[in-house]
Amino acid sequence: MTHNYRDENLLPIFQKLQHGERLSLEDGLVLFKTNDLIALGKMANYVQQQKSGDAVYFVLNQKIEHTNVCVLSCKFCDFAKKKGEPDAYEMTTENILAHITPEIREVHITGGMPPDWEWERYLDIVRGIHEKFPEADVKAYTAVEIDFFHKKFKMPIEEVLKQLQSVGLKTMPGGGAEIFTERVRKLLFPQKIGARGYLEVHKTAHRLGIPTNCTMLYGHIETFEERLIHLIKLREAQDETGGFLSFIPLAFQPGDTGISVGDGSASGGKSHSQFTSAIDDLKTIAVSRLMIDNIPHIKAYWVMLTEEVASVALNFGADDIDGTVGREHIAHDAGAVSPMKLAKNQIIKIIKDAGKIPVERDAFYNPLNAFGENIIGKIPFLNSVSFYHNLEKKGFKILPVSPRRMGMLSKQGQLDAGLFSLMDYFEQEEQLELLDLCIATRDQVKSVMLFSKEGWAGLNGKKIGITDETATSVQLLSVLLENKYRVQAVPERLHPGVNDYSMFDAVLLIGDEALKHNKRGLNGFELAFDLAKEWYDWQKLPFVFAVWACRKALSGERREELKEMISDSLEKSEIDLGGIGYPYGKSFGLTKEETKEYLEGFNYRLGERELEAMNVFKSLIVKINVIV
């Protein structure tokens, strides 16, 4: 990315970003104070493009606020009521179920903390939704609520979460973080948990395999430095657990709280603004994307930002616009002016107007549907950087998506081209035209790994966790188990970084997650098998994991343009594989030399031996009948 900087202080910060270096608090202050808003936005969009390409995610979700009765009295809250007040309400499980429809994919539950509810009532809400709507992911209860349950019902936080998980809890919302400084907590929400309590709840959830979101409430009495301290604490927690899915900056809605920051009286003269402006909102989203380098997604929460600002934010580092919501009261009771419910078609329009790909997702950010034309699928792993780093898109848009999910979108006719898993190419040969480019190994691969507690023979009858990302490696594993080692194992899908691996006897990981653990080891698993090496030692052939292909329906002119784009990008990348790959490899512990050695271990062009290997593998998989 090149452009003119009106604020030259931004240039060294952008150079750090290009080299994969982490930004400091001092860098963040420069970003917040700059008047070069356009350059800041371009920097954040550059980083977002590396992570999410042109994708912007949304979910068909239903917000449930089961009660507004609350024992706390936070100064910034217009939602909470005391029991017996005229506007107080409490929903039964039956009331809640009546507001959910079958097409909903996520039910987001937060609310007040009433003094007299029994523990079973909270469990019954989650259980009732999960049983009636098993396709919907239940995202329930903030860290503040979990801490409340822990204290009220005298259960350890871990036990609270385990019981919720047992009845259907899948993920947790990120509300209640507010600002991680004691100064602000004591002034605005002294009864609420602070940074330590909030992060303890989320880290415990992550250890149990419950991914969560995280938030920051900004635009009240906090300073820019306090915002940055908050972001850095979240970044440090993510380094430790890796369990945050997304970060949501929440613009403060003053309502009738009586909080006034224009004169700085509440903050000792330190306040930077009177609530938030569109510029402050965009800056905060951009700075969040640049500072928090390890949380995958940044959300532009349209409920608080308005549709207009949220749309612009999609070019300022945000790659998620939340969803259809419905029945949201907390922000609206405080004066949010956005519509109470945004229809799916309107969300798609907002995203397209921003020049992005609308991608309907599930709770784990797995794409369910992509809406648009000229979409190229991108495997979001280091092994494919050679194809995409120098790619001039020429009217195409890039959608990063795991191999298995890419195949699903292709079957739905929602991708024009991509680096497809070999199995997906086999299954869709009639619709796809094979190009002469691929990802194939010579002998070992280092990033398709079976981590095991047992040797191959010891896996007979044992449970193997299979990453949700794989479509081909799982079949390669099946071929090796059944044809090479004569072993029958029990495969089960898992979400990498989410599920507890210890429940399995072996775990199949691919891509960057496998590469990271191949270098560091995977706790509890003494053995590690490289599936490409296992294949080579057996067949004396390379293994083709993915091939470039495009839809046969794509016009001849566009097809030729696509081939030229990909070939040109590969040729440019091969000049310096270590240089282009290092910013990616560095994030999970590879040196520049290790990155270079890894990328040079692939064949990127389909030759006679690769085609022979494809045919041999195809003949072997027809002999087994394992679909996971």
Q: How far is CA 101 from CA 57, 70, 233, 259, 346, in A?
A: 21, 28, 38, 38, 19
Per-residue pLDDT at 76: 53
Name beta bridge partners: 370: 359
Mean pLDDT of 540-551: 97
> Lowest mean pLDDT: which of 173-182, 336-345, 369-378?
336-345
Query: Which pLDDT band, with edges at 50, 70 and 90, does 88 fall under?
Result: confident
Could you give the domains of the chain?
10-368 (3.20.20.70), 373-442+543-621 (3.40.190.10), 448-539 (3.40.190.10)
Q: Residue 153 burial (CB < 10 Å; 0-12/13-18/19+)?
A: middle
- Of 556 and 464, which is predicted with more confidence? 464
So what's the pLDDT on residue 338?
41
C-alpha to C-alpha distance for 231 and 233, rounded to whole angstroms: 5
Strands (E) in 382-479, as ranges, are 397-400, 417-421, 432-441, 448-452, 463-467
For tokens 């149990």, what's the residue?
A: 208
Give the range among 337-346, 384-393, 566-575 with minimum mean pLDDT: 337-346
**Helices of type H across 274-362:** 278-291, 302-305, 307-313, 330-333, 344-353
Cα angle value 245/96/79 (rounded, 5°): 70
Least confident stretch, 5-9, 216-220, 493-497, 560-564: 493-497
pLDDT tens for each residue of 203-217: 999 999 999 999 999
* SS3 assignment for 365-387: CCEEEECCCCEEEECCCHHHHHH
- Torsion, Cα 471 476 477 483, to 10 degrees, reads 140
Query: What mean pLDDT comes out for the span 100-117?
Result: 91
pLDDT on residue 330: 39
Residues in Cβ contact with 145 at an 8 Å cutoff, skipping those fewer than 6 apart = 110, 111, 113, 176
pLDDT averaged over the chain?
89
Q: What is the percent of the chain with per-residue pLDDT over 90, rounded to a whole number?
A: 76
Residue with the two structure tokens 């090796």: 480
pLDDT tens column, 285-315: 999 999 999 999 999 987 778 888 889 999 9
Backbone conformation region of residue 276, classed left if phi is above 0, alpha if psi is from -120 to 50, else beta:
beta
Mean pLDDT of 7-34: 95
- Residue 301: what pLDDT? 84
pLDDT value at residue 170? 94
The angle subtended at Cα 25 by Cα 22 and Cα 27, nearest 5°, is 70
CA dihedral in degrees (506, 511, 513, 518; nearest 10)?
Answer: 70
Contacts with 610 (C-beta within 8 Å, 6 or more apart), sequence order: 438, 440, 542, 544, 603
Distance CA 161, CA 375 (A): 40
pLDDT score at 333: 40
Beta bridge partners of 464: 491, 506
Least confident window among 111-115, 450-454, 604-608: 111-115
